[in-house]
Amino acid sequence: MEKIKSEIIPDHVPNEINYKIIILCFTAGIVFHYSMTYFSSLEGQMKNANYIIDVVSIINPLVTAIFAFVIAGFYRMSKIFGRAYIFLGLAYLCAASAESIYGIQYDIMQIDPYPSIADLFFAALYIFWIVHIITNIKYFGTSLEYKKLIAFIMIFCTVVFSYIGIVLYQLQLEPNFEFFYGLLFVVLSGIALPFVVYAAMIFKDSALGKAWYILLLAFLINISGDVWYYYLEVFEQYDLHHPVNFFWYIGYWIQSYALFKHKKVT
């Protein structure tokens, strides 16, 4: 009798992570990146490859933004989720705007877009991300234990000081403008990451927790890409065919999957 009951009623709310989708995101990212690298190496195709990369770089956050706004629409009657997903949608919209400005400056106006007005939107992306996470934490969180607070400060320090350490080592302790400019964004990344970790810990072992684990993975990928990018900019090593772009492609795809999982369970 007990066996029959357990077959009918699952003992938890099902929301399993489909690892095939995550592997697919990684594979698609690698395939796209290397196919663009190959395409750009063909004679006279560099510009076209750049355009394709620009368009994909805009579409990725734009689709994620649309996805977040649609979910916010589904949650419009919810005091907590509706507001949180509007902030997330705004974050991705800022990312799409930043990518658009960056692409126009880089490929059409042919000016070096670093620093650029696009960076304001990239900064806003982090701010809206943080607001989205804080909205969730404020509602679902209770207290932050001292040990966790220390751990989060350490995460922040690891992100920030790894950038400072590596760059200053490479620059032989002579920081330039690009170093300080990049540091601003690295600090924002360093603030965002512990918040995502904390949110994932709040929802640990629950159906919603699965969505937050995926979001944490996506944020880690995006933030790693961002920190690497600002490092590259200090040494003027970045271009549209650098492997760092791969992090942003898959970061947004996995974030879209996290949004889907969130909506599926709640």
Partner 1 sequence: MITEMDVLLTRFIEKHISTQLGPDTIQRVKDRLLEKGYPLTQAIKEFDPFDKTLREFFGKGTDGMLQKVFAEICEIKKDKSGSFKSFVIKDPSFVNLILSTYGNQEKKTILETVAEVSLSISDILDKINLSQSTGYRIINSLIKEGLLIESEHNEVGAEGRKVSTYKSTISLLDIRINRSNIEVEIHFTHDIIKNSRIMASIMPIFSKPRT
Using CB under 8 A as the criterion, which residues of the chain lie in contact with partner 1 when the complex forms?
A: 9, 12-13, 74-82, 137-144, 201-209, 265-266
* Rounded-to-integer distance, Cα 195 and Cα 32, Å: 31
Residue 39 CB, nearest distance to partner 1 (Å)? 43
* Rounded-to-integer distance, Cα 174 and Cα 210, Å: 44
The token pair that represents 29 in the structure block = 């990212």
Residue 211 CB, nearest distance to partner 1 (Å)? 11
Residue 250 CB, nearest distance to partner 1 (Å)? 27
Residue 93 CB, nearest distance to partner 1 (Å)? 22
In the bound state with partner 1, the residue whose beta carbon lies nearer, of 220 and 265, is 265
In the bound state with partner 1, the residue whose beta carbon lies nearer, of 88 and 95, is 88
Bond before 115 cis per omega within 30 degrees? yes
**How far, rounded to the nearest angstrom, does the alpha carbon of residue 121 sit from its chain's CA centroid?**
14
DSSP code per residue over 2-44: HHHHHHHS-SS------HHHHHHHHHHHHHHHHHHHHHHHSTT
In the bound state with partner 1, the residue whose beta carbon lies nearer, of 81 and 248, is 81
In the bound state with partner 1, the residue whose beta carbon lies nearer, of 2 and 43, is 2
